[in-house]
Amino acid sequence: MMRMTVLASGSKGNSTVIASSRTRVLVDAGLSCRELLRRMALAGEDPSALDAILITHEHIDHVAGLAVLARKLRIPVFFTEPTHRAWVRMLTPRTTMSYARWLDHLALEKQTREQEKEARAAAIALETANQLAGVENEPTLRSDDPNAVLELPDEAEPCDAESAETLPVAAKPDPAFLPVVEYFRAGTSFSIGDIGITPFTIPHDAADPCGFVFEAEGVRMALATDLGYMPPNVKQAIARSDVLLLESNHDLEMLRDGPYPWSVKQRVLSRVGHLSNSATAEYLSRDYDGGAAFIVLGHLSESNNVPELARLSAEQAIGDRMTLLGNKVLLASQTVPLEPICL
């Protein structure tokens, strides 16, 4: 069994739960921590059962609640290294950090992570040796550990950025502190629990943006939003999916005649912007293999699209295949979680 629950999709926040019977991951955390927890409760997803958070790219609609949620749940966050760096840079006020200081910060961060890795490896080795020798484990003291914030009781961990201000200065966490950071690379598969994950590069104006394909128990789910066009590598990566979460951002005419300033229109329309209804339709009619049970249209613009227009465009592109093999078209919403899709 595999499950996809889209908690939110659109320029005001993106987040999706992908679950097998044993493993649960959250893709992006683009709403406040509080709102993410509220949506998970609404959708019947248990936040304490999440194993990790995966980040597609550092735009605010994908990371708004990330740090607070990861610290609250004490789970690892998976990024590509450039995305992690861009995210840390985003949270670090530029006025107080020169380029030289930023380089120092990066070096220190790397050193800290390596030390943590070594410490973890040493702890595991010690534990294994002790287990073999039948020795009781001593609790590890971490008083000089930068991760000491982990020792805060739950109630002291704020659930949104504002309440961090109420903490005593000494306990105020680094805004970019995360319990564990793991790096992946586009094109290189990895696993979290029993879910196999293949990240792939998408054309978008971020440091190192990725889409994902998730596989467990013979089911394949793909997620590709925030892309300016459909390059061959994306078409190849998302082929043979059982569930396809695909961007259908804007109607071209609505965008052209809509309220956005010219520069923003150019950005959205560019090769590193967002996929239009017609670009998605073109993919669905020309390249899509027709094998998915569900096609979820996501990241719909609230100003430059109408859900029924996006649906009509996709359904027309899928044409006859809708009735033959499933291909049910669903619309992901910005404001409410989508009914969980279980296969």
Number of helical (H) and strand (E) elements in the chain, helices listed first: 11, 14
**For residues 246-305, which are near Zn ion according to CB under 5 A?**
none
Q: Which of 289-302 are b and which e, b meaning 16 or more Cβ less than 10 Å from the residue's Cβ?
A: eeebebbbbbbbbe
Q: Which stretch binds Zn ion (CB under 5 A): 40-48, 219-227, 262-270, 334-342?
A: 219-227
**In this complex, which beta carbon is closest to Zn ion, that of residue 8 or of residue 238?**
8
Residue 316, both tokens: 């027309």
Q: CA 277 to CA 299: how far, in whole Å?
A: 11
CB of 299 to Zn ion, least distance (A): 6
Q: CA 245 to CA 237: how far, in whole Å?
A: 13
Q: Which of 28, 226, 242, 251 is close enough to bind Zn ion by CB under 5 A?
A: 226
313-320: long-range contacts, CB 8 A cutoff, minimum separation 24 = 313/248, 313/251, 313/277, 313/278, 313/280, 313/281, 314/248, 314/277, 314/280, 314/281, 314/284, 316/281, 317/280, 317/281, 317/282, 317/283, 317/284, 317/285, 318/284, 318/285, 318/288, 318/290, 319/285
The reply to whether 311 sits near Zn ion by the rule CB under 5 A is: no
Q: Which of 59, 84, 220, 250 is close enough to bind Zn ion by CB under 5 A?
A: 59
**For residues 18-47, which are near Zn ion according to CB under 5 A?**
none
**In this complex, which beta carbon is closest to Zn ion, that of residue 215 or of residue 247?**
247
**In this complex, which beta carbon is closest to Zn ion, that of residue 219 or of residue 234?**
234
Q: Which of 35, 61, 157, 215 is close enough to bind Zn ion by CB under 5 A?
A: 61
**For residues 196-215, which are near Zn ion according to CB under 5 A?**
none
CB of 86 to Zn ion, least distance (A): 12
Half-sphere exposure of 138 (CA within 13 A, CB side): 6
Number of residues that bind Zn ion (CB under 5 A): 3
**In this complex, which beta carbon is closest to Zn ion, that of residue 59 or of residue 71?**
59
Q: Which stretch binds Zn ion (CB under 5 A): 56-64, 191-199, 238-246, 320-328?
A: 56-64
CB of 235 to Zn ion, least distance (A): 20
**In this complex, which beta carbon is closest to Zn ion, that of residue 173 or of residue 273?**
273
Half-sphere exposure of 28 (CA within 13 A, CB side): 32
Q: Which stretch binds Zn ion (CB under 5 A): 61-69, 144-152, 212-220, 247-255?
A: 61-69
Q: Which residues bind Zn ion (CB under 5 A)?
A: 59, 61, 226
